[in-house]
Amino acid sequence: MENNSETPPSEPLQHLSICPESSSQMSLDERFEIIRSIGEECIQEDELKRLLANKRQPICYDGFEPSGRMHIAQVS
């Protein structure tokens, strides 16, 4: 017997990718709102808006900072 203890998300999931074709039809504010909705931390929101205004396809990265004690899920 399979035990599935996962609970479904309380809100429907959204597709949040920005491809070149669709981003050319979005306003600066729409692009900013999408990025802020999935970005956990933004130090300078005005810099993000300036970047989006000046670069149609900015290059971003996803960083990981190991801080504190490691737990078993982080060890592979």
Dump pLDDT digits (tens) for 16-74. Answer: 555 656 656 889 999 999 888 887 778 899 999 999 999 888 877 777 777 777 777 76
Whole-number pLDDT of residue 75:
62
Q: Please, are residues 16 and 38 in contact by the beta-carbon 8 Å criterion?
A: yes
Measured over the CA atoms of residue 11, residue 45, residue 29 and residue 38, the dihedral's sign is: negative
CA–CA gap between residue 47 and residue 22 (Å, rounded): 22
Domain ranges (residues) in the chain: 15-56
